[in-house]
Amino acid sequence: MKFQTPTGMHDLFEEELELFRKIEKACREIAEFYDFKRIETPILEDARLFERGVGLTTDIVEKEMYVLRTKGGDRLALRPEGTAPVVRAYIQHGMQSLPKPVKLWYLGPFFRYERPQAGRYRQFYQFGFESIGANSPVIDAEIILIFYNILKKLGFKNLVVEVNSIGDSQCRPYFKKILVNYLRSHQSALCANCKRRLRKNPLRVLDCKEEKCQRVRKNAPQIVDHLCKECHDHFKSLLEFLDTLELPYNLNPYLVRGLDYYTKTVFEISVETEEGKIQGALAGGGRYDGLIKLLGGKETPACGGAAGIERIVNLMKLKHKLPSKKAKPKIFLAQVGELPKRYGLKLYEEFRQAKIKVIQSLHKDSLASQLKLADKLGVKYVLILAQKEALEGKVIVREMTTGKQKILPIEKIVREMKKKIK
């Protein structure tokens, strides 16, 4: 029987991991500048954390969450998103007493049982930034700017920032009534999913990608026309901050995001192709002023976002934003016999301490096979350590292009090779 990765899971190899490291480095540098501290939460959390925080009627909780019962009877979930765990940690560890805002960022794997497709996996990686404890729209602008700057730092151009306000508990219920009345009069034209959403989560109909639902939404009421004064002023101020930053953005009245905890600001950042098409969002987020209280803390404003690393990696590969190739090692260490291998291993460690990259093949016994490998790798020098040389404390240095050889004392070899490869 041949085993394969489970559906929707994938292995990562050096090329992708190199890009992952590049993304992590960009996140770390931006986080340090904006004074965000890294946090790592468990991959498993109490399933109720997401049911309560993300929302029982969301696709994530209804259809996509991996849930299991432990032998002790605990009902746990593989984390499907990062904000609720960060909020749980904020409450659990008494971070309410820290100076506000508390700024945290994370990077790691998440899990959703959804239909695998290009750029979407059941195990996927995200990085996220959360700013907890400040109500000012300048925080929303800073979060949007952070994701914009990270993507720019990774070489992306033609970034499209879309923003909207979805109101709060004061104005959103009234808008929902107006929206539901409108959608009910066009219910027959909606897709099956949106007919279900109309009953449970009507705002998500605005976010549907089905063409017939997009035709219906064209004349739908827009929430920006029904915001209360507080939400209206907050959104107006955010747009003024973005204007001052000269950060290009579009108002998207249909942008709602898929999680129940969002209030006021929501945003997404995508890439526009040369043909003018918008590809799937690379990053998104918004304000979640009610989530901390909902999960057992004090009423605390907060704003944050997350970005999908696989989507970013796939686009980087498509646009040839690959990491520069590492310089090939110039030295190969060949050893023949048991004693030379022992000396060779010690010499190999001395090269490591001197920060000189050396290739070796300790498992091979034949000098001919090692020289063949060295030739294939294109190294400039081969160091040969055979039984006689090991006993005499010497090493043969062969220059591969000319075939010339000379013998050097083993204690001088690292210093001499350092000069040669400069």
Amino acid (one-letter) located at 127: F
CA 210, distance to chain mean position in Å, is: 27
Predicted local confidence at residue 119, as pLDDT: 67
Q: Are residues 265 and 366 both part of a single domain?
A: no
Q: Are residues 273 and 399 both part of a single domain?
A: no
- Ramachandran area for residue 88 (φ above 0: left; ψ -120 to 50: alpha; else beta): alpha
Last residue of a domain, one of 254, 289, 318: 318
Position 379 in a domain = yes
CA 320, distance to chain mean position in Å, is: 19
Which tokens go with 209? 């990608």
Q: Are residues 347 and 415 both part of a single domain?
A: yes
Position 139 in a domain = yes
Yes or no: say if 151 and 282 are a contact pair by the CB < 8 Å rule.
yes
Q: Are residues 163 and 249 both part of a single domain?
A: yes
Rounded Cα distance, 139 and 171, in Å: 22
Yes or no: say if 102 and 90 are a contact pair by the CB < 8 Å rule.
yes
Quick one: angle between helices 14-33 and 137-153, nearest 10?
140
Position 217 in a domain = no
**Considering the entire predicted model, what is its pTM?**
0.84
Position 325 in a domain = no
Position 211 in a domain = no
Q: Are residues 81 and 119 both part of a single domain?
A: yes
CATH of the domain at 49: 3.30.930.10
Q: Are residues 145 and 294 both part of a single domain?
A: yes
Predicted local confidence at residue 200, as pLDDT: 80
Q: Are residues 364 and 406 both part of a single domain?
A: yes
C-alpha distance from residue 350 to each of 247, 328, 341, 358 (Å): 51, 19, 14, 10
- The tally of domains found in the chain comes to 2
Amino acid (one-letter) located at 8: G
Q: Are residues 266 and 133 both part of a single domain?
A: yes
Last residue of a domain, one of 261, 283, 318: 318
Q: Are residues 407 and 259 both part of a single domain?
A: no
Q: Are residues 286 and 367 both part of a single domain?
A: no
Which tokens go with 75? 């009902």
Predicted local confidence at residue 361, as pLDDT: 79
Rounded Cα distance, 269 and 286, in Å: 12
CA 31, distance to chain mean position in Å, is: 14
Position 1 in a domain = no
* Closest of 182, 135, 144 to residue 163, by C-alpha: 144
Query: Which residue intervals of 327-412 are DSSP H helices?
Result: 338-353, 367-377, 387-392
Predicted local confidence at residue 247, as pLDDT: 94
What is the full per-residue pLDDT of the chain (422 aa) written as tens digits? 899 999 999 999 998 999 999 999 999 999 999 999 999 999 999 999 999 999 887 888 988 999 999 999 999 999 999 999 999 999 999 999 999 999 999 999 999 998 877 768 999 999 999 999 999 999 999 999 999 999 999 999 889 999 999 999 999 999 999 999 999 888 888 898 888 888 888 888 888 888 889 898 888 999 999 999 999 999 999 999 999 999 999 999 989 887 788 999 999 999 987 665 567 799 999 999 999 999 999 999 999 999 999 999 999 988 766 665 666 788 999 888 888 888 888 888 888 898 888 988 777 778 888 888 888 888 899 999 888 888 888 999 999 888 899 999 988 889 988 888 87
Which residue range forms the structural domain that includes residue 359?
Answer: 331-420
Beta bridge partners of 78: 44
Predicted local confidence at residue 107, as pLDDT: 98
**How many separate helices (H) and strands (E) can be counted in the chain?**
15, 16
Q: Are residues 347 and 285 both part of a single domain?
A: no
Position 202 in a domain = no
